[in-house]
Amino acid sequence: MKLYIKYMVSLRCKMLVKQELQKLGITDMGIELGVAEVAEISQDQRSKLKANLKKSGLILLEDKKSIIIEKIKNLIIEMIHYSEELPAVNYSDYIAEKLGYDYTYLANIFSEVKGITIQQFIINHKIERAKELLIYDELSLTEISYRLHYSSVAHLSNQFKKITGLTPTFYKQLKNKRKQNLEDI
């Protein structure tokens, strides 16, 4: 049985869910971002898990739309933040194939519930990932644009500025200035 959990987007969240399941005596499990798969769970255990997860800011999902939205979000987050290679096909084809639904159906549900499009959600996460990569200072802007599947550095720069209000270069300089200021103290 699969349990879908909202806001479970990091390794730390996965560890927390595993601990909560173990406290309930459930040891046969598989845990991925947003999903815990267990052999069995009683209604009482489910209620306790829901309450314990809520204390930590996680939500055990019950309805179909919420579950689909979480699947979409987790797939995008995993794809952009935790995978070295982005899919070779369009995001829409990749998401539809992975989730087994028509993309139009997924896009309509996502927009209805989240208030933004799947594409905008992807762009927001790509920019967040670009910010992380700029701060780590290991890759050039060209390498970052290639890694995040942008057609050019200019395309990345335009989206970056549209979302953050800053150019990638200026954003990187801000980080360096903050570091200098800390050293001056």
Range(s) within the chain of domains with CATH label 1.10.10.60: 121-184
121-129 LR contacts (CB < 8 Å, sep 24+): 121/72, 121/73, 121/76, 122/76, 122/80, 122/91, 123/159, 123/163, 124/163, 125/76, 125/77, 125/80, 125/81, 126/80, 126/150, 126/159, 127/159, 127/160, 127/163, 127/164, 128/81, 129/80, 129/81
Q: Is the pLDDT of residue 111 over 50?
A: yes
Assign 183 a pLDDT band (cuts: 50, 70, 90).
Answer: low
Length of the chain in terms of residues written: 185
Tens digit of each residue's pLDDT (9 = 90 or more) over 113-127 = 889 999 999 999 999
Q: Is the pLDDT of residue 25 over 50?
A: yes
Assign 78 a pLDDT band (cuts: 50, 70, 90).
Answer: confident
Tens digit of each residue's pLDDT (9 = 90 or more) over 145-177 = 988 888 899 999 999 999 999 999 888 888 766
Tens digit of each residue's pLDDT (9 = 90 or more) over 129-143 = 999 999 887 888 999
Instruction: Give the CATH architecture of domain 1-62.
Output: 2-Layer Sandwich (3.30)
Domain 121-184 annotated CATH 1.10.10.60: yes
Average pLDDT, the chain: 87
| pLDDT at 182 (0 to 100) | 47
The structure's pTM equals 0.73
Work out the average pLDDT over 8-27: 89
Assign 79 a pLDDT band (cuts: 50, 70, 90).
Answer: confident
Range(s) within the chain of domains with CATH label 3.30.70.100: 1-62
Assign 180 a pLDDT band (cuts: 50, 70, 90).
Answer: low
In a 13 Å sphere around the CA of 133, the CA atoms on its Cβ side amount to 23
